[in-house]
Chain A
Amino acid sequence: MIESGHGSSRGPVSSQRRGGRVDKLIDIKNVRHAYQTQDGRLPVLDGLDISVPEGGFVAVVGPSGCGKSTLTKLIAGLMKPDEGEVWLHGKRVTSPRSTVGMAFQNPVMLEWRTILKNVMLPLEIVASKMSRREQEERARYLLALVGLEGFEDKRPSELSGGMRQRASLCRALVHQPDVLILDEPFGALDAFTREDLWQTMHQVKAKEPFTCVLITHDLRESIFLADQVVVLSQRPARTQYVLDVPDTGPRDLDHLYTPEAAEMLNILRHQIEVAQGRAPAQPEADEVPEPPPGSTAQGMV
Chain B
Amino acid sequence: MNNENVWRYTLLGAIFSLLGFLVLGKLVSFQLDPESKKQFVEEQDKYSGGWHTVYPARGQITDRWGHLMAGNVTMYEVGVNLEHVKNPHTIALTLNVILGLDYAEIMKSIENPPQGLVYLVLDDYVSKADLERLQKYKDEIGNTYGAITGKDAPSLDGLTWVPKLQRIYPEKSLASNLLGFVGRDDSGKIKGYFGVEANYDDLLAGVPVTVWIPNDPNRVEKLPTVPEGTSLVLTIDREIQRSMEDIVDASLDETGAKSATIVVLDPKTGEILAMATTPRLDLNKYWNYVEIFRDSTPFNRGVSEAYEPGSVYKVLTMAAALDKGVVKPQTEFIDTGKIEVGGAEIYNWNSGVWGPQTMIGCMQHSLNVCLAWIATQVGAKDFYSYMKAFGIGHLTGVDLAGEVAGRLKIPGDTDWYDAELGTNSFGQGVSTTPLQMATAVSAIANKGKMMYPHIVRSIISNGHQYDTEPRVLSIPLSEETAVTLTDMLAESLEKEASDALVEGYRVAGKTGTGEIPTPYGYTSDVTNTSFVGWGPVDDPSFVVYIWLEKPLTSIWGSEVAAPIFPRIVNKLVVLMNIPPDDVRYELYGQ
Q: Do A and B come from one complex?
A: no
Residues of chain A at the chain B interface (Cβ within 8 Å): none
Residues of chain B at the chain A interface (Cβ within 8 Å): none
